[in-house]
Structure 1
Amino acid sequence: MPRVSDETDAARPAGTAGEPAPATGRPSAGDAGPRGIRGLIARNRALAAAAALVAVALAGGGAVALGTALSGPPAPAPAAMPTESATPRPTPTPTPVTAPPTTEPPARVRTCSVADLAADPRLANLQAQVMNAGTGEVLYDRGGLTASRTASVMKVVTAAAALAVFSPDDRFATRVVRGAEPGSVVLVGGGDVTLSRTPSGNETAYPGAAHLDELARQVREAWAADPSNPPLTKLVLDSSLFGGETWHASWDPVVRGEGFMPHMTALMVDGDRDDPYANVSARGTDPVGRVGEAFAAALGGVAIVERGTAPAGAVELGRVWSPTVAQLVDKSLVVSDNTVAEMLARLVAIELGTGNDFAAIDPAVRQAIAGYGIARGGIRVVDGSGLSPENTVPPAYFTRLFAKVDAREGNLGVILDGLPVSGRTGSLSYADRFAGDNAVAHGAVLAKTGWITTGYTLSGIIRAQDGTTLTFAIYALGDVTAAAKQAIDTLATGFYRCGDELADD
């Protein structure tokens, strides 16, 4: 589930914007039920306690606090004081020893400068940080401790939170249960935005998506198995898993019509796209209504479609499963899918018990990422996609998180596998990225792109020319145009050429 538009740059020309019952679970050979929220909260209590100890506030002058938290080792403890002896003893006269002269090794002078590249006016207000992933040494810093808007690079934080809470193999269920009235069934949304109205066997914009016709088949079979059932004539649509507003006040409405973001509901098909097969397609105004119309047609014979909630303990008649969390993370990163990112953020909040609306996302994501052991001061998570200009993360957080991604700590290797690659895959393979002289870095930059109307961003990993692995974040903020993308790529290519010789001049 969350600029004006995020750069779901998929096939976008340069210069344009971009439960009631628990719904999560992992299917098994048997009747695998949805994952329990309560069990996950128990597993995360220790995580939350640790988070409370290590959290560093970065409000106001909090950049200093974050700097301290991310700096070197603490000062050594003072030497123990000598104890008095009961009987004074004469002090022996020490033999004079001439100590050899001591000289400190000269500080390393790095000579590879990117000063001219960083001064490019297309970068507007530049913030950047580069770290040697192997040594942890910060090689280059321009406002790295200042938390600022991230655009779609926020999806990396959302993905890290989801992978801390769910297994990469977890899936989310859409179910149908028996309704309270004779002849009625309830379609219960589990938050799966990839569920498709296309015929089974078709691959939509969401690989691995479940299909409504399969769910309808299960329901018809279960209904027919009980001869006492009256004809099935009524469909109730339950989208209550997600609460609150369906559109964040800070999102520009233009992104819906341009095909980057629908109204967020727990029940929809094909991300509410007009064209289920296109990454970029205009979205509707009533996602729940669209899925109701499609499912009623798939069931056949339904005369009444209305909104409501499922009865407690209702008998289940069918269920289908979303793609895996790993597949969802990949989709959210490689083509910067806003809808999937919002889905993951909202499900993390529900699973951790912070709520089911936009306000629940920030405490949930911050709790989920606490276990990575990186200072979170200054981080504010307004949505999962990065569409909101109110999201803030310091570049220093990303350089450290990507070091863990590169090391495949925990489940973070899923993020590494889903990052766009310069000149090869995803939003870094488009004609306006890493072109011309920057093509020298093709295949060497694995990074998430970002764009809102007030900023372009790029953050990830660079396999530098000298063999060094660098982690980096670049924010070009303020009065920017699409040309900022090329300036960002040129600066990143400069980092690639310099490697560990990068000078912080």
Structure 2
Amino acid sequence: MAEPVERPTNEPLNRWDEWKDRLSPVPGDRSNDRRFVAGAAVLGLVVAAGAALAAGPWDSGQRKAEHDRVVAAEHSGGAHHPGNPPGAPRPAPSAAAVLAALGETSGRTDPVAAGTLDTVLTPLLKAPGLGTVSAAAVVDTATGTQVYAHGATKPMTPASTVKIATSVAALSALGPDHRIPTTVRVSKDSGTVTLVGGGDPTLDRSALRALATDTARALRDGGTEKVRLTYDTSRYSGPALHPISPNENIAPVSALMVDEGRLDGSDHGPAPRTADPALDAARAFAELLGDAGVPTRSDPASGRAGSGARTVATHLSKPLSALVERALTNSDNDIAEALVRQTALKAGEPASFAGGRRAVTNRLKGLGVPVTGADLVDGSGLNRKDKVTAGLLTSLLALAADPDHPELRPVLTGLPVAGFSGTLGDRYSAESGATGLVRAKTGTLTGVNALAGTAVDPRGRLLAFAFLTSGTTSPGEAEASLDALATALTRGAR
């Protein structure tokens, strides 16, 4: 039976450096540097409301998902803000909570004060909706100090929160600017064309068309009129099917696919998937190559380019930073598995489930985070054999907030925003006061619910948190209980 699926809303992008330049933390003050992360998260959501329409779409940087949501609110006819006069600017969904947090810091209790978090969080962890086993950890990213722990070293099934570990490993290994190539090679006699998959699951038809156009141009220049087409998926190895497959949550894992093997035109969430992503991609390329004036002799066949073949066309994916953000915001399983395999290739491991497991684990060990008890058997979190601790997740989030690791910032900017984007778009009401102040990766499998991310406390500090549960019987009750825990971090004690 298919596992329950997180249903995301939008695709993200990021411009962190723009906010960093504006906020200008004091040189040499690491605490202030980390607080800038929290300030940027808050300030970015406030500024989005007034600047989105004037600035136009962002092609990198401040999240496209947030921009799109703000624009939608501007044209909503006041459905969510009936008190606004027609045509008046409307705030982002998070504005009320963010402004309240900025304006009410005096007189509110510091949630990091000794004993406060224990008083606030421990009773909430006893909520029936959290099932039979729960674990929690909270870290003050300004100091790196764990300020709350409940079973923080207990290995738990993380579901999709494991994508935080996947993303940190990939960014650390490859860097945020890494792009995944898809290439076309032509044989020495120009009679055979090979479409070579590099592992980009976001390759789309427009990219294939550009590859076909460039390929046809190169072939016509040499006088070739018809070719044999092969396709190469050898960059990946091992089983293509995830243990839960076939399943609408993930396509067969292949180095060559178009639109994640989706058959319904969607770009996120569950969807019917092709059983052979590589063959479908090659057939689409053959059609486009024919449209460009070079028909193929027969149906594409699997194969590798021979000796002496030359590269005539290349397409590069979006930067790894954008792929990480999309994987986290949309809880994209196909991208997550691609990230693991790219990490494996960088480490010299086979690009397989087993190779990825070793590569990611070793990469995290090298970063000095607590991997004891962790078992990272896939990149998506769909496998119930995955195990992480709450302490590991918060350590990874704190590392992403560390000014010494700017390459990891997409892990924070990719987190869904409470009540605003991705898998948290329909969670957290405006009345909760946490809208926009919590950014977190969700995790959902049958009987397993998790939430891990960051929260801005009443004093503007950034807290990294992880709440893991198992034995839950109602996804709705579990999510509400997890949201209450994260909300408590934004409120402090009362």
Q: Distance in 1 between matches of 2:115 and 2:354?
A: 47
In structure 2, relative to structure 1, the CA distance for the partners of 1:248 and 1:333 (3 Å cut) is same
Q: RMSD between aligned alpha carbons?
A: 2.2
Whichever residue aligns with residue 121 of structure 1, its letter is P
Q: Distance in 2 between matches of 1:442 and 1:375?
A: 31
Equivalent residue for 2:352, pick from 351, 354, 357: 357
Q: What is the aligned partner in structure 2 of residue 263 from structure 1?
A: 252
Q: Distance in 2 between matches of 1:423 and 1:232?
A: 54
Deviations 1:373-394 (A, max 9, x none): 2121112111111111111111
Q: Distance in 2 between matches of 1:134 and 1:171?
A: 32
The SS at the match of 1:244 is coil
Whichever residue aligns with residue 148 of structure 1, its letter is M
Q: What is the aligned partner in structure 1 of residue 136 from structure 2?
A: 128
In structure 2, relative to structure 1, the CA distance for the partners of 1:355 and 1:424 (3 Å cut) is same
Equivalent residue for 2:153, pick from 145, 151, 154: 145
Q: What is the aligned partner in structure 1 of residue 8 from structure 2?
A: 10
How big is the shift at 1:493? 1.2
Q: Structure 1 residue 241 and structure 2 residue 235: aligned? A: yes
The SS at the match of 2:369 is coil
In structure 2, relative to structure 1, the CA distance for the partners of 1:287 and 1:271 (3 Å cut) is same
Cα pair 1:8 1:338 within 8 Å, conserved: no
Cα pair 2:170 2:343 within 8 Å, conserved: yes
In structure 2, relative to structure 1, the CA distance for the partners of 1:8 and 1:235 (3 Å cut) is farther
In structure 2, relative to structure 1, the CA distance for the partners of 1:241 and 1:140 (3 Å cut) is same
Cα pair 2:370 2:391 within 8 Å, conserved: no
Q: What is the aligned partner in structure 1 of residue 442 from structure 2?
A: 449
How big is the shift at 1:181? 6.9
Q: Distance in 1 between matches of 2:189 and 2:158?
A: 49
Stretches of structure 2 that go unaligned for 5 or more consecutive residues are 11-112
Whichever residue aligns with residue 10 of structure 1, its letter is P
Whichever residue aligns with residue 340 of structure 2, its letter is A
The SS at the match of 1:130 is strand
Q: Distance in 2 between matches of 1:233 and 1:467?
A: 62
* Correspondence 1:325-474 to 2 at 5 A: 325-410=320-405, 411-430=407-426, 433-435=427-429, 437=431, 439-474=432-467
Q: What is the aligned partner in structure 2 of residue 495 from structure 1?
A: 489
Q: Structure 1 residue 310 and structure 2 residue 305: aligned? A: yes
Cα pair 1:179 1:236 within 8 Å, conserved: no
The SS at the match of 1:114 is helix
Q: Distance in 2 between matches of 1:391 and 1:298?
A: 41
Q: Distance in 1 between matches of 2:425 and 2:237?
A: 37
The farther-off stretch of 304-313 and 145-154 is: 304-313
The SS at the match of 1:345 is helix
The SS at the match of 2:475 is coil
Q: Distance in 1 between matches of 2:233 and 2:395?
A: 38
Q: Distance in 2 between matches of 1:214 and 1:233?
A: 18
Q: Structure 1 residue 298 and structure 2 residue 305: aligned? A: no
How big is the shift at 1:252? 5.2
Q: Distance in 2 between matches of 1:395 and 1:312?
A: 50
Q: Distance in 1 between matches of 2:416 and 2:402?
A: 17
Equivalent residue for 2:126, pick from 115, 119, 128: 119
Q: Distance in 1 between matches of 2:152 and 2:361?
A: 19
In structure 2, relative to structure 1, the CA distance for the partners of 1:184 and 1:313 (3 Å cut) is closer
Q: Distance in 2 between matches of 1:5 and 1:361?
A: 23
Q: What is the aligned partner in structure 1 of residue 185 from structure 2?
A: 177
Whichever residue aligns with residue 381 of structure 2, its letter is G
Q: What is the aligned partner in structure 1 of residue 317 from structure 2?
A: 322
Cα pair 2:200 2:338 within 8 Å, conserved: yes
Q: Distance in 1 between matches of 2:307 and 2:262?
A: 32
Q: Indicate the structure (1 or 2) with the bigger Cα radius of gyration.
A: 1
Q: What is the aligned partner in structure 1 of residue 272 from structure 2?
A: 282
Q: Between Structure 1 and Structure 2, which shows a larger proportion of helix residues?
A: 2
Q: Distance in 1 between matches of 2:210 and 2:268?
A: 23
Deviations 1:57-77 (A, max 9, x none): xxxxxxxxxxxxxxxxxxxxx
In structure 2, relative to structure 1, the CA distance for the partners of 1:108 and 1:382 (3 Å cut) is closer
Q: Distance in 2 between matches of 1:317 and 1:161?
A: 32
Q: What is the aligned partner in structure 2 of residue 159 from structure 1?
A: 167
Identity of aligned residues (%): 32
Cα pair 1:118 1:126 within 8 Å, conserved: yes
Cα pair 2:174 2:346 within 8 Å, conserved: no
In structure 2, relative to structure 1, the CA distance for the partners of 1:161 and 1:312 (3 Å cut) is farther
Cα pair 1:476 1:488 within 8 Å, conserved: no
Q: What is the aligned partner in structure 1 of residue 47 from structure 2?
A: none
Q: What is the aligned partner in structure 1 of residue 470 from structure 2?
A: 477
Cα pair 1:422 1:444 within 8 Å, conserved: yes
Q: What is the aligned partner in structure 2 of residue 89 from structure 1?
A: none
Cα pair 2:183 2:196 within 8 Å, conserved: yes
Deviations 1:351-383 (A, max 9, x none): 211112111011101222233221211121111
Cα pair 1:6 1:386 within 8 Å, conserved: no
Cα pair 2:374 2:389 within 8 Å, conserved: yes
How big is the shift at 1:308? 1.1
Q: What is the aligned partner in structure 2 of residue 213 from structure 1?
A: 209
How big is the shift at 1:180? 6.9
The SS at the match of 2:254 is coil
In structure 2, relative to structure 1, the CA distance for the partners of 1:157 and 1:109 (3 Å cut) is closer
Q: Distance in 1 between matches of 2:467 and 2:234?
A: 39
Question: TM-score under structure 1 normalisation?
Answer: 0.72
Q: Distance in 2 between matches of 1:322 and 1:276?
A: 19
